[in-house]
Structure 1
Amino acid sequence: MSFRADLTDLLLSDPGLADLVGTRITWGRRAPGEGLPALVLMRVGATRDYHMKGVGALRRTRIQAEFLATTLAEAGEVEAALTARLDGIRGPHGGTDFRGIFVEALRDGLDTDRDGSGIHRILADLIIHHRVHNEENER
């Protein structure tokens, strides 16, 4: 599996989060017509670990998590479930060795859905320290 697939699977394996968003966890943007609440993930930064022998296996990746819901309270429930699942977690999952995941930089917003209804959103930055085992995890 790739880093993205491993992170998605880690989120889907949490019963509380799965009860709220089902399988509505996507990368990049919300699928057209997809229901709410939903979780959209996007990589917004990544750094590598360098040493005198070249590139190391450690990575620091910043993921923006966007919690979308019909009410701010519902978006807050998704945020709380994700934070409970990920904040401070370490250990292997799939092909990724998560060395620490931290939730930071929360902010609220409001947008309009395709049908004109309001969408409440909470954005969170996830700082993820992880070790890659092969180049597949780079993608």
Structure 2
Amino acid sequence: MSLQADLTDLLLTDPALADLVGARITWGRRAPGEGLPALVLMRVGATHDYHMKGVTALRRTRIQADILAATLAEASAVEAALTARLDGVRGPHGGTDVRGLFVEALRDGLDTDRDGSGIHRIVADLIVHHRLHNKENER
């Protein structure tokens, strides 16, 4: 599996998040007609770790998590559940060996939905230090 699939699985299997967003966790953009609250994830940065012999199997990936909700209270509840589930996570998850996952920064904002209604947005920057378990990393 990929980091994206493993992170999605971590979120989908969390009871608190399931109560709030159900299966409305997507990568890249929110599906047309999808309800709120929802969580939209996007990889916004990724770096490799290096040593004197070249690249290592360690990675540092920045994920932007957009929490979208009709009210600030709903968005804040999703933020709390997301932070409780992910901040400080370590260990193997699917094919990813998470060395540390942290909620680094939070930003609030407002947006407009496709129908013109207001959306409360909380953007969470997630930093994932990880190593994928696959042949590509056997250097």
If the TM-score is normalised by the length of the shorter chain, which range does it land in? over 0.9
Indicate the residue corresponding to 1:47 in structure 2.
47
* Alpha-carbon RMSD: 1.3
Matches within 5 A, 1:1-80: 1-80=1-80
Q: Distance in 2 between matches of 1:66 and 1:28?
A: 10
Deviation per residue, 1:61-90 (Å, 9 max, x gap): 000000000001100000000000000110
Kept in 2, the 8 Å contact 1:2–1:136? The answer is: no
Indicate the residue corresponding to 1:106 in structure 2.
106
Task: Identify unmatched segments of 5+ residues in structure 2.
Answer: none
What is the TM-score when the length of structure 2 is the normalising length? 0.95
Aligned-residue offset at 1:13: 1.0
Task: Identify unmatched segments of 5+ residues in structure 1.
Answer: none
What is the TM-score when the length of structure 1 is the normalising length? 0.95
Deviation per residue, 1:87-132 (Å, 9 max, x gap): 0110101000111111021111111101111110000100110011
Point out 4+ residue stretches in structure 1 off by more than 6 angstroms. none
Kept in 2, the 8 Å contact 1:28–1:40? The answer is: yes
Q: Percent identity?
A: 86
Deviation per residue, 1:20-41 (Å, 9 max, x gap): 0000000011011100000000
133 and 60 in structure 1: CA distance in 2 versus 1, 3 angstrom threshold: same
Indicate the residue corresponding to 1:120 in structure 2.
120
